[in-house]
Amino acid sequence: MAGGLKEVRERIKSVINTQQITKAMKMVSAAKLRRAQQNIQQVRPYADRLNRMLSNILSNLDGDASTSFGKSREVKNTLLVVMTSNRGLCGAFNANICKETAALIREKYAQQQRTGNLTVLFIGKKGYDWFRRRYKDINFITDFIPVYDHSDYENVSSVARKLMDEFSTGKYDAIEVVYGRFKNAATTFPTVEQWLPVPKMESPAGTKQKKADYIFEPDQQQLLEHLVPSILQLSFHKCLLDTLASEHGSRMTAMDKATENAEELLKALRINYNKARQEAITKELGEIVGGAAALEG
């Protein structure tokens, strides 16, 4: 029985240590979440408005004005950008993004996968870890995994500019981004966003598309050459900021739940320990009483 008590005491100590770690991780994630949430809440409305404006402009170009970023062509070579975290312990956050990517490949890009014309670029390590165990017929780009931990605008926009150059030269015919869209600490959504070519503005079914009445200064072509790359870079950065906020929110929620589970486990272990201790004391008392009775006899 003494051995059993010792084992329970050691397990209680282990659970307490684990609980202290999960509490600390929750607090760290909560602090990081506040900063990440503030960043995405500041950027998202601006980026979404610019994206809508860009789609509208590209849908209503006049004359010879054009940009390669808005031209759709036959999709032979596809690039998927998968944004996940570099660390785990954040629930199903990374797995959900990877599963969303796998569904996209299966439903939309199965032909490119079969012909070897599908490439997946990873920003964040966990996505690469998930894919390399499951796919052998997809081209992987791992050069930009460290970008996740260096998410300032200049660093992220350099990746976006490189991808825009490769789209313009015809290396890729379509680029889509899969990331975690942040709603709140407890809710994130794996999201697929067509980044290039820029999707056109679509009118509701049965309605006629209204032409935007923009006044361009300077002319349309000069505006497109400066405006489109800037909006695309901001949109790419917004996706990464969304993913960062989603990661910290998911980890905070997961660590909070782990702390609660540890507390419930501690209660059960302490009850078992007290029962075992009481049984041991009762047994010892019984043996003492029995020994005393034998001596008196």
Segments of the chain assigned E as strands: 78-83, 118-123, 139-141, 174-184, 187-196
Q: Residue 188 pairs with which residues in a beta bridge? A: 182
**In CATH, which superfamily holds the domain spanning 22-201+211-254?**
ATP synthase, F1 complex, gamma subunit (3.40.1380.10)
Q: Where are the domains of the chain?
A: 22-201+211-254
Active site residue 90: yes
Q: Strand 78-83 vs strand 174-184: parallel, antiparallel, or unpaired? A: parallel
Q: Which of 25, 80, 81, 90 is catalytic?
A: 90
* Cα dihedral 227→230→234→236 (10° resolution): 110
What pLDDT is recorded for position 7?
86
Ranges of the chain with pLDDT below 70: 1-3, 60-66, 201-214, 297
Q: Residue 253 pairs with which residues in a beta bridge? A: none
User: CA-CA distances (angstroms) from residue 169 to 68, 69, 162, 197?
Assistant: 9, 11, 11, 13
pLDDT in tens, 187-245: 999 999 999 998 876 655 555 556 666 677 777 777 778 888 999 999 999 999 999 99
Residue 221 near residue 227 (C-beta atoms within 8 A): no
What pLDDT is recorded for position 1?
47
